[in-house]
């Protein structure tokens, strides 16, 4: 029997290892799969489209509102349902994992194209280690599901950045066509993608400036961007707005205090802080190598520089303007594979030997495992609050995790960086409260329900109008001025009760006094088992000082933290009288839906009610609810 040639044997071993990593990716995504309540918002839009009403939250005579953020994602779910009969809750994660597999393929191709200092491709061991480091990231696996459009957006953005790094000799019309196409997919998937479309429109012609060929090539290459222009025009015509309604509902005022904490926790859990010193060393080496032709070297890399600038602007927008995100690291999840491909590329250029590159990658991977530590230590979370980790990790890690607990407590107080375990608890609780999806209306009138967590409610109550009290799917609420939490009566009352809860009068609040306080303040929502996480949250803020009692100044600081700025995506409430105008008449339970008939049908009055309240918002003639 003839032995297999060495080259073929090496390729076979490489293929087997790549397939093993792919299998690990799929298994990890399936094991960590979840669907959040927000995903059901898009599912309701798709359901209404299937019923012939278009992509609307509440069917006519209600005016259309764009409360979803993934147009292309909604269209894909609609197409799968229409062609194959598979409803969005069943199709969403299968499609998402499919896009995650494509992300893996793109990462693998890029990893095997990395080059070292001598210009030769890196060894298979280095490429495979880079792929393994990406696969081993919790955030990469976590956001391959959720029911949201995240996996599709991340795929498009990953491909866009890697195409931007293509060398000048391989940049032709087909390259620009591909680059523009993935930018268009990103923009059609999430509004964030408009930034990358703008970068493509600027850098594409400049990249052609390296070797001038006239305007025909760039015009053809940029043609996919016309789809984005068409979609924005359609949005303005159909919804009457240039941006989704969710932007108006969520973005209130610059919030760097939350955004910086969000970014710090991302860097901590992913070991991504290592990227900055490595990038600095790489930049010094690059400048030294190209010191006699630095301008030309930079000009030849215009698309890559524009991509880096766009990524930086995107991160800065969420960190300094938005304040992070309600979901844990969703808006930064696309950075995970890019960070590891970048580290692999920089290590390969900085080190002379493959073993040194491997050693640096392994050490960096060790620093990125703190997210898994958090996952293991908090997987038994029972309530939707922080699960402090400092006492659950080895002593050597406790100072770091006390710092992390403090930041997590600050973020969670304001509904920022809410963990996947918390979203699972939320959706499980909602499922227990609602009956199976169905049609519940009788007669020609429109039943109405007001809701805070509207996703599952909107999906289940298929033929009922749902008023979103936080405004994601409601034009009026999204444009009502945000709550000033510091002046709310609740805040004042909170402070009075807090200061009166020092039962022994010693000027300190121990854990028992804090527990009694929370039970007294939230008697309808807490019991002794659910009050403890609130106590944990309060003490986590001051974990660097002590964990057994709070001083008066610390309780004042706690109040300041609780009632500063507000809550992510929960800062707007319906103006006084708005909800009542629709006469909500739907009650729900796990057993079924009860609809109270109206004396006068609502349907003929809906258009007038919406017109009146939109005019009130425009002119400021309304009273804010308390």
Q: Give pLDDT, residue 383.
A: 64
Among 312, 327, 210, 254, smallest CA distance to 565 is for 254
CA distances from 471 to 160, 247, 258, 428 (A): 33, 10, 21, 23
The DSSP call for residue 486 is: G
* Per-residue tokens: 248: 């108006």
The DSSP call for residue 115 is: B
Percent of the chain exceeding pLDDT 70 equals 89
- Between CA 41 and CA 61 the distance in angstroms is 19
Q: What pTM was estimated for this model as a whole? A: 0.92
Q: Is 241 helix (H, G, I), strand (E, B) or coil?
A: coil
Among 277, 193, 180, smallest CA distance to 232 is for 193
Q: Give pLDDT, residue 214.
A: 66
- Is the per-residue pLDDT at 543 higher than 60? no
The DSSP call for residue 439 is: -
- Is the per-residue pLDDT at 2 higher than 50? no
Q: Give pLDDT, residue 539.
A: 74
* pLDDT confidence tier of residue 384, bands split at 50, 70 and 90: low
Asked which of 55-59, 140-144, 309-313, 489-493 is least confident by mean pLDDT, the reply is 489-493
Q: Compare 95 and 253 and report the one with higher pLDDT.
A: 95
Q: Give pLDDT, residue 99.
A: 98
- Is the per-residue pLDDT at 76 higher than 70? yes
Rg (CA), the chain: 27
Q: Give pLDDT, residue 392.
A: 79
- Between CA 119 and CA 290 the distance in angstroms is 15
Q: Give pLDDT, residue 396.
A: 84
Pairing of strands 465-468, 448-451: parallel
Tell me the average pLDDT of the chain.
88
* pLDDT confidence tier of residue 242, bands split at 50, 70 and 90: very high
- Is the per-residue pLDDT at 550 higher than 70? yes
**Cα-Cα-Cα-Cα dihedral sign, residues 344, 20, 363, 353:** negative
- Between CA 341 and CA 344 the distance in angstroms is 5
Q: Give pLDDT, residue 436.
A: 93
**Cα-Cα-Cα-Cα dihedral sign, residues 170, 114, 192, 469:** positive
Beta-ladder partners of 316:
none
Phi, psi for residue 334 in degrees, rounded to 5: -70, -20
List, in order, residues 6 or more apart from 81 with CB less than 8 Å away.
46, 50, 87, 88, 91
Asked which of 71-80, 328-337, 379-388, 447-456 is least confident by mean pLDDT, the reply is 379-388
Instruction: State the number of CA atoms in the 13 A half-sphere of 105 facing the CB.
Output: 8
- Is the per-residue pLDDT at 563 higher than 80? no
Q: Which residue has the tokens 């939320």?
A: 426
- Is the per-residue pLDDT at 527 higher than 70? no
Report the 3 state secondary structure along 45-91: HHHHHHCCCCCCCCCCCCCCCCCCCCHHHHHHHHHHHHHHCCCHHHH
Q: Give pLDDT, residue 403.
A: 85
List, in order, residues 6 or more apart from 120 with CB less than 8 Å away.
none
* pLDDT confidence tier of residue 222, bands split at 50, 70 and 90: very high
Q: Is 146 helix (H, G, I), strand (E, B) or coil?
A: strand
Q: Give pLDDT, residue 580.
A: 94
Q: Give pLDDT, residue 37.
A: 95
- Is the per-residue pLDDT at 526 higher than 60? no
pLDDT digit string, tens, across residues 106-133: 999 999 999 988 888 999 999 999 999 9
Across 406-421, b (16+ Cβ under 10 Å) vs e yields: bbbbbbbbbbbbbbbb
Mean pLDDT calculated for residue range 41-69: 97
- Is the per-residue pLDDT at 75 higher than 90? yes
- Is the per-residue pLDDT at 478 higher than 80? yes
- Between CA 454 and CA 610 the distance in angstroms is 19
Q: Give pLDDT, residue 404.
A: 87
Q: Which residue has the tokens 């599901």?
A: 145
Mean pLDDT calculated for residue range 167-181: 92
- Is the per-residue pLDDT at 566 higher than 80? no
pLDDT digit string, tens, across residues 577-598: 999 999 999 999 988 999 999 9
- Is the per-residue pLDDT at 545 higher than 70? no
DSSP string, 388-404: --GGGS-GGGHHHHHHH
DSSP alpha helix (H) spans, 112-255: 124-135, 138-142, 150-164, 173-189, 193-208, 216-221, 225-239, 245-250
CA distances from 453 to 36, 253, 469, 576 (A): 11, 23, 9, 20
Q: Which residue has the tokens 């600027």?
A: 202
Q: Give pLDDT, residue 495.
A: 57
Asked which of 1-10, 18-27, 49-58, 273-282 is least confident by mean pLDDT, the reply is 1-10
Mean pLDDT calculated for residue range 404-424: 87
* Residue 568 near residue 415 (C-beta atoms within 8 A): yes
Across 21-57, b (16+ Cβ under 10 Å) vs e yields: bbeebbebbeebbebbbbbbbbbbbbbbbeeebebbb
Q: Give pLDDT, residue 1.
A: 40
Asked which of 54-58, 248-252, 273-277 is least confident by mean pLDDT, the reply is 248-252
- Between CA 378 and CA 370 the distance in angstroms is 12
- Is the per-residue pLDDT at 349 higher than 70? yes
- Domain boundary assignment for the chain: 66-413, 503-562
Mean pLDDT calculated for residue range 433-446: 91
Q: Give pLDDT, residue 352.
A: 82
Q: Give pLDDT, residue 461.
A: 96
* pLDDT confidence tier of residue 189, bands split at 50, 70 and 90: very high
List, in order, residues 6 or more apart from 327 with CB less than 8 Å away.
36, 146, 417, 418, 420, 423
Percent of the chain exceeding pLDDT 90 equals 65
H/E run at residue 314: helix 302-316
Q: Give pLDDT, residue 530.
A: 65
């Amino acid at each position: 029997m003839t032995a297999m040639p060495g080259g073929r044997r090496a390729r076979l071993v490489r293929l087997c290892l790549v397939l093993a990593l792919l299998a690990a990716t799929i298994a990890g995504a399936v094991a960590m799969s979840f669907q959040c309540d927000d995903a059901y918002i898009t599912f309701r839009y798709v359901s209404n489209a299937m019923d012939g009403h278009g992509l609307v939250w509440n069917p006519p005579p209600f005016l259309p509102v764009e409360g979803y953020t993934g147009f292309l994602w909604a269209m894909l779910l609609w197409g799968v349902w229409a062609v194959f009969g598979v409803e969005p809750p069943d199709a969403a994660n299968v499609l998402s994992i499919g896009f995650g597999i494509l992300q893996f393929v793109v990462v693998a191709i890029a990893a095997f194209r990395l080059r070292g200092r001598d210009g030769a491709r890196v060894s298979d061991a280095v490429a495979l280690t880079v792929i393994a480091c990406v696969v081993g990231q919790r955030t990469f696996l976590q956001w391959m599901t959720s029911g949201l459009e995240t996996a599709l957006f991340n795929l498009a953005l990953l491909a866009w950045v890697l195409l931007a790094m293509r060398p000048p000799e391989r940049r032709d019309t087909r390259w620009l066509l591909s680059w523009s196409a993935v930018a268009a997919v990103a923009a059609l998937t999430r509004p964030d993608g408009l930034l990358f479309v703008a970068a493509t429109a600027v850098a594409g012609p400049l990249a052609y400036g390296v070797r001038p060929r006239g305007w025909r090539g760039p015009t053809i290459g940029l043609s996919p961007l016309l789809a984005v222009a068409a979609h924005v025009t359609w949005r303005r015509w159909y919804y009457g707005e240039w941006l989704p309604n969710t932007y108006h509902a969520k973005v209130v005022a610059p919030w760097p205090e939350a955004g910086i904490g969000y970014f710090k926790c991302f860097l901590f859990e992913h070991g991504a802080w290592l990227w900055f010193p490595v990038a600095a060393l790489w930049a010094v080496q690059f400048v030294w190598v190209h010191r006699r032709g630095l301008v030309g070297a930079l000009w030849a890399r215009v698309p890559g520089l524009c991509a880096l600038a766009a990524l930086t602007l995107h991160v800065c927008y969420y960190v300094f303007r938005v304040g992070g995100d309600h979901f844990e690291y969703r808006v930064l999840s696309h950075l995970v594979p890019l960070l590891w491909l970048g580290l692999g590329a920089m290590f390969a250029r900085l080190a002379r030997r493959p073993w040194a590159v491997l050693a640096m990658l392994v050490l960096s991977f060790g620093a990125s495992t703190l997210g898994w530590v958090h996952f293991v230590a908090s997987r038994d979370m029972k309530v939707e609050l922080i699960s402090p980790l400092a006492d659950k990790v080895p002593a050597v890690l406790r100072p770091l995790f006390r710092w992390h607990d403090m930041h997590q407590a600050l973020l969670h107080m304001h509904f920022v960086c809410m963990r996947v375990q918390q979203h699972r608890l939320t959706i499980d609780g909602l499922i227990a409260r609602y009956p199976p999806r169905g049609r519940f209306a009788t007669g020609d009138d429109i039943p109405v329900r007001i809701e805070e967590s509207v996703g599952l409610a909107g999906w289940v109550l298929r033929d009922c109008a749902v008023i979103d009290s936080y405004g994601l799917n409601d034009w009026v609420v999204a444009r009502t001025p945000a709550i000033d939490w510091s002046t709310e009566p609740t805040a004042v009352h909170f402070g009075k009760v807090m200061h009166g809860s020092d039962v022994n009068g010693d000027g300190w609040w121990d854990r028992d006094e804090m527990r009694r306080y929370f039970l007294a303040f939230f008697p309808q929502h807490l019991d002794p088992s659910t009050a403890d996480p609130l106590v944990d949250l309060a003490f986590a803020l001051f974990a660097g000082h002590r964990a057994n009692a709070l001083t008066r100044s610390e309780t004042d600081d706690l109040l300041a933290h609780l009632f500063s700025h507000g809550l992510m995506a929960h800062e707007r409430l319906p103006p006084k009288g708005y909800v009542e105008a629709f006469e909500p008449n739907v009650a729900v339970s796990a057993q079924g839906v009860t609809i109270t008939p109206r004396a006068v049908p609502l349907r003929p009055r809906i258009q007038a009610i919406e017109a009146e309240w939109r005019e009130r918002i425009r002119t400021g003639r309304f009273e804010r609810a308390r």
